[in-house]
Amino acid sequence: MSESRDRRARLRPKVRERRPRAIPDRLWDELFAQMRCDRDRALPACYVSSGARASELLGVRLEDVDRSAGRLWAITKGAGQQGC
Please write the tens of the pLDDT for every residue from 6-41: 555 666 778 888 887 888 999 999 999 999 998 888
Print the SS3 string covering the chain.
CHHHHHHHHHCCCCCCCCCCCCCCHHHHHHHHHHCCCHHHHHHHHHHHHHCCCHHHHHCCCHHHEECCCCEEEEEECCCEEEEC
Does the structure show a pLDDT above 70 at 1? no
The tens digit of pLDDT for each residue in 74-84 reads 777 766 666 66
**Going by C-beta distance under 8 Å and a sequence separation of 6 or more, which residues neighbour residue 66?**
72, 73
In this prediction, residue 9 carries a pLDDT of: 60
Residue 63 has pLDDT above 70, yes or no: yes
User: How large is the angle between the packed helices 25-34 and 38-50, nearest 10 degrees?
Assistant: 150
Say what the pTM is.
0.53
